[in-house]
């Protein structure tokens, strides 16, 4: 069974991605806070983490901190970073820290699905 961790402070995004990706072969765990995400990462091995960069406030970069944490404890785990406040500098930081892909919101769900499948996780349309 594949495991995906989705980390975002927007409940609608957590719900939409969880619904899209959950199936009999994929377990999806969601978190709205970095502390919860780190607890899940310490407890389970994930195949993929999808994380927003900002989980709190205007200057938040928790998603990049989480990316570094994931790569430190599980280098083989793929990480997709997303943000509504992107910049070339933020994109470069994400890739330097090991992001598999970087998205600026709004996200094209068809493209995201392809990127997830490129990570070896089949996405089944419902």
Structural domain of 97: 2-118
Residue 49 lies in a domain: yes
How would residue 81 be classed by pLDDT, with cut points 50, 70 and 90? Answer: very high
Residue 41 lies in a domain: yes
- State the pLDDT at residue 124: 76
Distance, CA of 63 to CA of 9 (rounded, Å): 11
Residue 110 lies in a domain: yes
Residue 113 lies in a domain: yes
Residue 55 pLDDT exceeds 90 = no
- State the pLDDT at residue 50: 97
Does residue 54 contact residue 62 with C-beta atoms inside 8 Å? yes
Which range has the worst mean pLDDT, 33-37, 67-71, 99-103, 106-110?
106-110
For the full predicted model, state whether its pTM sits above 0.75. yes
Listed in sequence order, the DSSP H helices in the chain are 11-21, 34-43, 62-73, 88-96, 109-118
CA torsion sign for 108, 30, 48, 98 is positive
Does residue 80 contact residue 86 with C-beta atoms inside 8 Å? no
Does residue 43 contact residue 27 with C-beta atoms inside 8 Å? no
Residue 124 lies in a domain: no
Indicate which CATH number applies to the domain containing 85. 3.40.50.2300
Residue 78 lies in a domain: yes
Tens digit of each residue's pLDDT (9 = 90 or more) over 3-36: 999 999 999 999 999 999 999 999 999 999 999 9
């Amino acid at each position: 069974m594949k495991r995906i961790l989705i980390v975002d402070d927007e409940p609608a995004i957590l719900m939409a991605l969880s619904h899209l990706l959950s199936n009999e072969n994929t377990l999806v765990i969601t978190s709205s806070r970095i502390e919860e995400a780190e607890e899940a990462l310490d407890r389970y091995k994930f195949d993929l983490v999808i994380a927003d960069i900002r989980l709190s406030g205007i200057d938040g970069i928790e998603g990049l901190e989480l990316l570094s944490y994931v790569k430190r404890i599980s280098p083989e785990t793929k990480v997709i970073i997303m943000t509504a406040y992107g910049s070339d500098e933020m994109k470069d930081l994400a890739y330097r820290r090991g992001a598999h892909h970087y998205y600026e919101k709004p996200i094209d769900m068809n493209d995201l699905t392809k990127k997830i499948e490129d990570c070896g996780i089949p996405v089944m349309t419902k």
